[in-house]
Amino acid sequence: MIKERIRALFSARSAGELPPGGQRRAFAALRLLSPPLNAMLISLLSLCLAFGNYDWGVFLGYFTAPSIFLLNTLPVLLLELLLLFLFGRHGPAALGTALLVLLPSVGNYFKIRFRFEPFVFRDVDAIGAGLSIAREYPLGLNHRLILVVVLAGLCVLAAFLCVRGRLSRTVRAAGALLVLLSLFPLWRFVYSDKEVYFRTTHANSYLGNLTAQHDFISAGFVYPFLFSITDRYEAAPADYDPAEAEACLAGLADEDIPAGERVHLLVLQLESFTDLEAKGLTGISPEVYAPLRTLERESLHGVLIANTFGGGTINAERCLLAGSYGMQSYTRDAPSYVRYLTAQGYAVYGCHPNRPDFYNRINVNRCLGFEHYDYIGTEDSPVTYAWQRDAVFLPEVFRLFRERIHDGEPVFSFNISYQGHSPYNDAGLDADKPLWEKAEVSEATFCTINNYLASVAETQRLVLEGLDTLRAEDEPVLVLIYGDHNPFLNREEVYTESGMSLDHSTEQGLLDYYGTPWLLWANDAARPLLREELAGEGPTLSPGYLLNLVFERLGWKGSAFMQFTETIRASLPVVSTNGYVMENGVLSASPSEEAKALLRAYSSVQFYLRERYGS
């Protein structure tokens, strides 16, 4: 009897085919619960794929806050309901929902797995190109994908076999209208809201939320994919006028580097490298900054005013590589100085001793023009975790550079160190002896500063040794060295206890807060090619102008964009996205109207060139 009732329940196409009472109520409940149950299962399967090749800790993080699962599941439910009201049947609705949600989820899974970045809305335009590129990767089923396919198939099969019948036209019309009416308020106040997105992504902090890519992965797939619609196009600068931007570039064109004047360029961006002695820290052992003083005597040197403090390494590197005013996001190929040098016949490469997904360098560096860049764990990369120590990293960088400059083509090598990264040991000394003595400071402050100084002392010594290997080279070489930003030193109290200030309300405070050293060094073979000798104190600069300075000293004009930025640099040698500029030799947070106009022109020309790149 029970089997017959169950068979009748699952085979009935309408409530009228069943006797009044419990079977009819069960039939109604089954039809009512099928969409939300299917939606929750499909959403769960999507989340099983959403973290790509990161570990399952990310998946568990999806359940640290109810909002993550809810925001991923609600669109799936609305999609299933809309398809149900469109087709009138549960089976086709379940099948359509599974395909429309899980196929992009699988694409997202493979994109994270092979490119360390998620599938976002703007990628829809490039699905064809993505599928052609996918042939180069070892796509294949694994246990997780098989589980998703099997469970999704069972879910769809159950909808076809167990939830029969067709909705009436009245129910379908009314239901579809309600679903469509719900879309605008949900989009306006929830799915496009940046504050909601920020709170949701940071509820799952397993990946650290360092980048937009990590934020996306931390929030699942369906929800952040919908939010990525808001970032479909890069917002134009305020008061942007393409005609004005074009006028700024009128008469400018990329200028070739004369074949007989090319030199090899080595760039070393040193993590959290700075001169605490120049910032007023007293009691430092002379041996700490002795190598830096030697380097300064042999180089043109000055102060770099970074846009960040204590972090944001990518800001300095991307400003330098693109000549940009402030850091910009990169999601597609863009103009850069890397591309200019490549067009001039340079072999461009570099390395960073961290994972390729860290700050999404693996994809951004491709957008900037690096065909090859070495990271930890990538195929054929010599870089290992041992390279995070400068004692390994710097000798290897110099060795690889020396090998490549004899390959017959000019070389541009851009390398980023890691050793100076915080935190610093505050519970004991890493060196054999203190390098800084100061009365009346806490043990934590004493250890932090000593250990930071031990690190930068070693870095300077290794840089000097590396330059010594280039002195006698017959190939002309220029080396640019700079600190990406100042160290945070674990706690603000470390600065104040030791007598340094974090107050940047004055010009000197801004210089101390954001200023790091830069040096430009040349070997003997390169000196005859210089327009000016590399000696003495040079200008205070922003990161985006560093290669301008290199080109200026070599007498190269560079790309049309570099020529344009030179007109800006003449008036504003420091520009910052934080609102301060150096104008008439004074660094301040109150730019004049003339300075604001130049900044608008700078950002407009950047946007103009990026929008038209490749078209």
What's the whole-number average pLDDT of the chain? 90
Q: What is the CA radius of gyration of the chain?
A: 30
Omega within 30 of 0 (cis) for the link into 353 = no
Q: What percent of the chain has pLDDT over 90?
A: 70
Q: b/e for 183-216, b at 16 or more Cβ within 10 A?
A: eeeebeebbeeeebbeebbebbebbebebbbbbb
Per DSSP, the three-state class of 94 is helix
Task: Identify whether the C-beta of residue 142 lies closer than 8 Å to the C-beta of residue 385.
Answer: no
pLDDT at 159 over 90: no
Q: Which residues contact 260 (CB under 8 A, 6 or more apart)?
A: none
- What integer is the mean pLDDT of 211-232? 90
185's enclosing H/E stretch is helix 169-186
Distance of CA 306 to the CA centre of its chain: 17
Q: Which residues contact 553 (CB under 8 A, 6 or more apart)?
A: 300, 478, 520, 530, 531, 532, 534
Give the number of other Cβ atoms within 10 Å of residue 103's Cβ.
10
More confident residue, 235 or 497: 497
* Residue 1, CA atoms < 13 Å, CB-side half-sphere: 1
* Whole-angstrom distance, CA of residue 76 vs CA of residue 38: 9
* Whole-angstrom distance, CA of residue 307 vs CA of residue 29: 59
In 438-486, beta strands by DSSP E: 477-483
pLDDT at 16 over 60: no
Q: Give the pLDDT score at 136.
A: 53
Task: Identify whether the C-beta of residue 283 lies closer than 8 Å to the C-beta of residue 546.
Answer: no
In 4-51, beta strands by DSSP E: none
pLDDT digits (tens, 9 = 90+) for 547-596: 999 999 999 999 999 999 999 999 999 999 888 899 999 998 889 999 99
* Whole-angstrom distance, CA of residue 581 vs CA of residue 594: 12
Q: Which residues pair with 62 in a beta bridge?
A: none
C-alpha distances (whole Å) from 386 to each of 265, 389, 418, 432 are 25, 6, 11, 22
pLDDT digits (tens, 9 = 90+) for 417-471: 999 988 899 999 998 899 999 878 999 999 999 999 999 999 999 999 999 999 9
* Whole-angstrom distance, CA of residue 514 vs CA of residue 487: 10
Per DSSP, the three-state class of 267 is strand
3-state per-residue secondary structure call for 378-417? CCCCCCCHHHHCHHHHHHHHHHHHHHHCCCCCCEEEEEEC
Q: Give the pLDDT score at 201.
A: 92
Look at residues 313, 342, 314, 308 and name the one whose alpha carbon lies nearest to residue 328.
314
Q: What tokens appear for 324 in the block?
A: 């940009």
* Whole-angstrom distance, CA of residue 194 vs CA of residue 200: 10
Q: Give the pLDDT score at 23.
A: 53
Q: What tokens appear for 552 in the block?
A: 């200026």
Q: Give the pLDDT score at 9.
A: 44
In order of their start, the domains of the chain are 2-231 (no CATH), 262-612 (3.40.720.10)
Give the number of other Cβ atoms within 10 Å of residue 264's Cβ.
26
Q: Which residues contact 343 (CB under 8 A, 6 or more apart)?
A: 254
C-alpha distances (whole Å) from 465 to each of 291, 359, 415, 470, 527 are 10, 30, 17, 9, 20
pLDDT digits (tens, 9 = 90+) for 253-302: 999 999 899 999 999 999 999 999 999 999 999 999 999 999 999 999 99
pLDDT digits (tens, 9 = 90+) for 315-348: 999 999 999 987 777 888 999 999 999 999 999 9
Task: Identify whether the C-beta of residue 268 lies closer than 8 Å to the C-beta of residue 415.
Answer: yes
Can you tell me which residue has the tokens 């083509």? 409
* Whole-angstrom distance, CA of residue 454 vs CA of residue 435: 7
* Whole-angstrom distance, CA of residue 325 vs CA of residue 579: 11
Per DSSP, the three-state class of 431 is coil
At how many degrees (to 10) do helices 143-162 and 90-115 cross? Answer: 170
pTM of the model: 0.79
Cα dihedral 68, 73, 75, 78 in deg (nearest 10): -150
Q: What percent of the chain has pLDDT over 70?
A: 92
